[in-house]
Amino acid sequence: MNALKRLYRRQEVIPSCKTFATSQWTSFLHFRSDLLRNNFMARTIAMLSVHPSRGLVDEKFRVEVENLPPACPVTLHCLHRSEDQDHWEAFGHYCSDHSGTVKVSEDESLGGTYSGREHMGLLWSMRPVPGSRRGLRLRKTHVDVPMTLLISVYRGHLTAGFRELPPVASVVAERWYMAPGVKRIAVEERGVTGTFFIPPGPGPFPGVLDMWGGGGGLVEYRSALLASRGLASMALKYIDPGDTPTDMRMGYFETAFQIIQDHPQVISDRVGILGLSFGTSVALTVAAYSQISRPRCCVGISGSHAYPINRPVAELFGEMGMNEEKMKRDEEDNVIMRNLILPIATDPAKKVDVGRIECPLLLVNGDDDQNWATTESAEDIANMMSVAGNKHLLTTLTYPKAGHLIEPPFTPHIRASNFIVQHSKEKVIMLWGGEPKGHAVAQEDSWKRILNFLKEHLCIEPTLVPQAKL
């Protein structure tokens, strides 16, 4: 027994997991005595696997460890180095079962950056490693190459020091925004800047005009993913983060919509609009007022009907800037913008007349959104549509404990991050809100619902077709 204890200490395997019952302790001792008899020959080698090893970012993966000693405490760790060279990590504490197996999709995490039974916790709970720069946000710029993850298993339940300790095993997983065969086409025509993603095949395909929010730039990854799911999608640039916003009006968005309709591989009467944050204001404005662009359906994520695009965008941002006294700061000096549009205006000129919308509308919000008062807006939208008689077109999804940045599934939750305020060019840390688990649920569930909504309204149901003769 003394020899066993010496070996036990040298191997540094301390059974600390709570489920270590008596019968498991007995089998553990039996295993260790095997080691004493025939140390190198009886050595078991843990096998770590991730499946699929190359998947789209909205797909789940299974992480499993086999051939561990039974009831062995281990830490599963996920590491990613972003395009900006920051390191992000997540980890969960597990205990192998009687057969020496850990299955992340089925087992309970006993602690770490997530806990409980969380199939994809190793992704959505990622956060910058200790010592990282403040205010980071994980976003993919180059969508034609994958995110690479290093997934490792360590002995014991660790919370730090992953770089210094050798893991028991590691595997690499790739996460892609673009499916094979998706075409990426830069758009610079009729004064419009964007990137078009076309699914593989002859088409024609339904189309989507995809807009992000006030942070500006050309953000491609959601469009790439939509095209990977069969929808031709154009990511639109309408705010240049570096420059003063130009005299951009609704005409710009109508032209963008027309470019999509005109593409030979797009079904011209099956084009929808998807917007997030300020992009929702744009989407609602076009849906309500445009005589030229008739979207088949509309999705507004974390947005509002405030600030209709009835004036140049620059002017709207300027007006936001004049309401600075409504911006608050939390105890960490993060900026809270949600009160900017509160109380919801009663003056119809200050909000989109949603009673005019004639297409199905899906609103996706988090009830902890600290950036825009989206739940209050959604309530007002519902009231307006009820009065106008088009409320049957509206579906609202409000997710508890979710914040503003409702991204594709398994994207790490960002409660606050660096942001340049458009009108003043001030660098702040913006509070987006939400807590990791609630936000992860919102992202995963809303993405499925958004895809179903787009497909339902953009893909024609089978009409009567003569039956094939066999």
Partner 1 sequence: MALQGPMLWLSVHPCRGLVDEKIKVLVHHAAPVQRLTVHTLFRSEDGDDWEAFGHYVSDSAGAVDVSEDVCLGGTYSGHEPMGLLWSLRPVPGSRPSLRFRKKDTGTPMLVTISLHQGFLSDSFTERLPLASRVVERWYMAPGVRRVELTEGGVTGTLFLPPGPGQFPAVLDLPGGGRSLPEARAVLLASHGFVTLALNYLNPRRTAGGEYHVGNDYFQTAFSVLQTHPQVIRERIAIVGLSFGASMALGLSVYSPTIKPSCLVSISGSHVQPAGGSLGDIFAEFKKNEKNTRYDEEKRVIWHDLLLPIPSNPSKKVDVGQLCCPLLLIVGKDDQNWPAEESASDMKEMMEMSGNGHLLTVLSYPDTGHLIEPPYSPHCRSSNFINAESREKFVVLWGGEVTAHCHAQEDSWWKILDFLKKHLYYGPQSDITSCT
* Preceding omega of 295 cis (within 30 degrees of 0): no
Euclidean distance between the first and the last CA atom of the chain, given in angstroms as a whole number: 77
Site for partner 1, residues 64 to 123, rule: CB under 8 A: 67
Task: Choose the stretch contacting partner 1; rule: CB under 8 A; options: 199-207, 215-223, 245-253, 331-339.
Answer: 199-207
Position of tokens 């199939």? 119
Task: Choose the stretch contacting partner 1; rule: CB under 8 A; options: 82-90, 137-145, 167-175, 382-390.
Answer: 167-175
Residue 321 interacts with partner 1 (CB under 8 A): yes or no: no
277 carries an active-site annotation: yes
Task: Choose the stretch contacting partner 1; rule: CB under 8 A; options: 48-56, 346-354, 411-419, 424-432.
Answer: 48-56
Minimal distance, residue 348 CB to partner 1, in Å: 35
Residue 228 or 280 having the CB closest to partner 1: 228
- Is 297 in contact with 207 (CB distance < 8 Å)? no
Instruction: Supply φ then ψ for residue 146, to 5 degrees.
Output: -85, 165
CA distance 370 to 59: 29
The single residue of 93, 263, 404, 439 carrying the catalytic annotation is 404
Q: What angle do CA 204, 210, 214 make, to 5 degrees?
A: 170
The single residue of 369, 380, 446, 457 carrying the catalytic annotation is 369
Distances (CA, A) of 167 to 109, 315, 407: 18, 55, 31
Structure tokens at 374: 């989206």
Minimal distance, residue 421 CB to partner 1, in Å: 40
Residue 1 interacts with partner 1 (CB under 8 A): yes or no: no
Residue 143 interacts with partner 1 (CB under 8 A): yes or no: no
Residue 158 interacts with partner 1 (CB under 8 A): yes or no: no
Task: Choose the stretch contacting partner 1; rule: CB under 8 A; options: 88-96, 164-172, 208-216, 315-323.
Answer: 164-172
276-293 b/e (C-beta count within 10 Å ≥ 16 → b)? bbbbbbbbbbbbbbeeeb
Helix/strand/coil percentages in the chain, nearest 5:
25, 25, 45
Structure tokens at 460: 């024609």
Residue 38 or 291 having the CB closest to partner 1: 38
Residue 7 interacts with partner 1 (CB under 8 A): yes or no: no
Dihedral angle computed from the Cα positions of residues 134, 138, 142 and 147, in that order, rounded to the nearest 10 degrees: 120
Question: 164, 167, 175: which is closest to 53 by C-alpha?
Answer: 175
Instruction: Report which residue type is found at 379.
Output: E
* Preceding omega of 204 cis (within 30 degrees of 0): yes
98 carries an active-site annotation: no
Beta bridge partners of 396: 363
**What does the per-residue mask of binding to partner 1 show for 270-289, with x meaning CB under 8 A?**
x-------------------
Question: How many residues bind partner 1, per CB under 8 A?
Answer: 53
368 carries an active-site annotation: no
Residue 12 interacts with partner 1 (CB under 8 A): yes or no: no
Minimal distance, residue 278 CB to partner 1, in Å: 32
Minimal distance, residue 88 CB to partner 1, in Å: 17
Minimal distance, residue 232 CB to partner 1, in Å: 12
Which residue numbers are catalytic? 277, 369, 404
| Residues at the interface with partner 1 (CB under 8 A) | 34, 38, 40-45, 47-48, 52-56, 67, 148, 150, 152, 166-167, 169-174, 176, 179-181, 200-202, 204, 206, 228, 230, 264, 266-270, 459-463, 465, 467-468, 470
